[in-house]
Amino acid sequence: MRGSSLSHPAVLETLRPFIVVSWNGTSTREMPEDIWEIYRAGNLGDRGGAIRLFVLNPQGELVRAFFPFAGPSPATLGFDRQRMGLFLKQEIEKATAQLDLSGVKTAEPKLRLPEVGPNSKVTQMPAGVRILLSLEHPFASSFRVPVVETVANSAAEEELLHYPQQPKTIAANSLKRWLEQIYPPAMMERSGRIVEISGDLNFRPAGSEKNEQLAILQGTVHFTFDDARQTRYQGSLAMTFRYTDEGQQMESFRGLYRGIFPKWDKQGKGLVKILMQGVLESRPD
Amino acid sequence: MHESLVIRMPWASRLLLIACLLPSSSACQAQADLLPQPARRSVQPPRRPTKSTDPFQSLLDFVRQEQEIEFAKPLPEFPATVKGAQLIEQQVRAAYPSKKELAVYSLDWEPTLAAARKRAQVEQRPIFFIVVTNYSGPTNFFSGHC
C-alpha cells in the first residue's frame, strides 16, 4: 500500500486535510487500549489482509473503517497502481462525505523525513544516521517508495569511527546497528531480520580540505537474512567522513551502498533480483 | 522505476530508455528492432504475449539486465584523497531519492494516535489511521520496513 496506492498523487491530495498516523504490530494482542477500541469498533473481519484503515473525526471518533484493497490483496486490482490509488481515494472520500472539512487549513506540503532525536550518548560524532534505501523489483510495486530508517549512534560507533591517523581495517559487523537496516521490505518470512554481517572495511585518512580532515570507509559487506532460505547477499559500501579539531570531532558523514538481494518468488516466477541502493547520511545536519 | 536508480544506469541504457519514452517516437521501434530477437521455435503463435515479443518490454528487459550487471559489481575503489572523498559525496547526491519518490513523507504524520488526536482536536482536522498487523518480521509502516 505504501508503495502503490498511498503514494498515488490523487490519494496524497485527498489526504492533505488529514493528520496521518500508523500503528504496527504482529497481532491485536499487542494493541494498546486506545487502538484496540478503534480497531474493534471498525468491525472489519479478517478477509481483507493485514492493513486496516480508519478515518476519525476531529474529536477522535471513528467515522469509517475499510481495507485499502478492493479484495483480500492488491492482486484484486491487478497490482495496478493507478486503479489501486483511485480505489483508495474513493474509499477515503466516502468517509469525508460525512465530515465538514471546509474550515480545515492545510499547510503547503513539505517533506518531513524520519529524524534522529537528541542523543546524549555521543558527543564527538553526529547524533545518528538516516538510511534511505531505494529498491527496484522487476515486477512488484511494493518497493517503489524508499525505506527510510534512522538509528541513534552509540558510544560503540563513536569509538570505532575516530579519525584514522593510519589506514586500518574494521569489521563490517562492528557497524551492525547501521547495516542491519539494509534489507528489502515485504519479506514476511520468519523473523525477517539480518542475523549475520561480515566483511572487512578499509578505513583510511583522505587528506584535508579547508579546516576539515577527511576519511574514507570502503569495502564489501556480506549479509545473512533470516527468511525461509537463510538468504545470503552482499553489497558494496563507500563512505566519506568529515572531522574538525584535527580529527577529534566528527562533523558529518555521507555514504553509498549498492547490492542485489536474491529472492525466490512465492508465485513460482523463480529467482528475482531486487536491486538495492542505500544512502547513509549523518543526522542532524 | 526508481529515478535514483535510473541515474545509476549506464549512459547507453539511459539514452535507449529516454528514446523509448518519447511520445510517438519512431526511435523506439527502430531501437527495439535492433535488439536481438529470440529464435522462433514454432510457427504456432504464442498463447499470450511474452517479454520477447513486446519491443518495449524487450527494451526494459535489456535496461534491467544492464542494471543488474551494474549492481552486481562492487563500487569503484575510491582513492584516499580529497578528490576520492568528494567523488563519494557526489555519488551520494546522485543516488538520493527524489521528492516524488519520498512523497508519502509530505503527508502530515504524527508518531502516535494519542498525539494525532490531541492535534486533531486543536486544529479541527480529521485523522487517517493505518493499522498493520503482520505476523512475521519487523513492521514499521512509517519507515517502510513492513
| ipTM of predicted assembly, 2 dp | 0.92
Q: Cβ of B101 under 8 Å from any chain A Cβ?
A: yes
Distance from CA of B41 to the nearest CA of A (A): 22
Instruction: Give, in degrees to the nearest 5, the angle at Cα A142 between A138 and A148.
Output: 110
Lowest mean per-residue pLDDT among A34-48, B34-48, B96-110 = B34-48
Given pLDDT bands bounded at 50, 70 and 90, which one contains residue B19?
low
Q: What mean pLDDT, rounded, does chain B reach?
A: 76
Mention every residue, 6+ apart, whose C-beta is less than 8 A from residue B67: A136, A275, B5, B8, B9, B13
CA distance A259 to A232: 12
Q: What is the pLDDT of residue B18?
A: 53
pLDDT tens, position by position, A189-211: 777 889 999 999 999 999 999 99
Given pLDDT bands bounded at 50, 70 and 90, which one contains residue A39?
very high
B-facing residues of A in 64-83 (CB < 8 A) are none
Average the pLDDT over B40-46 and give the result: 44
Task: Give the one of A18, A60, A242 whose C-beta lies nearest to B117's C-beta.
Answer: A60
Q: What share of chain A is helix, strand, coil (3-state, %, to 5)?
A: 20, 40, 40
Cis peptide before A284 (omega within 30 of 0): yes
CA distance A181 to A19: 27
Q: What is the pLDDT of residue B54?
A: 82
- With a pLDDT cut of 70, the percent of chain B lying above it is 63
Q: What is the pLDDT of residue A189?
A: 75
CA distance A133 to B139: 16
Distance from CA of B35 to the nearest CA of A (A): 20
Distance from CA of A57 to the nearest CA of B (A): 5
- Above 70 in pLDDT, residue A133? yes
Q: List chain B residues with CB under 8 Å of A185.
A: 144-146
Lowest mean per-residue pLDDT among A6-10, A13-17, A122-126, A184-188 = A184-188
- Above 60 in pLDDT, residue B38? no
Average the pLDDT over A256-282 and give the result: 90
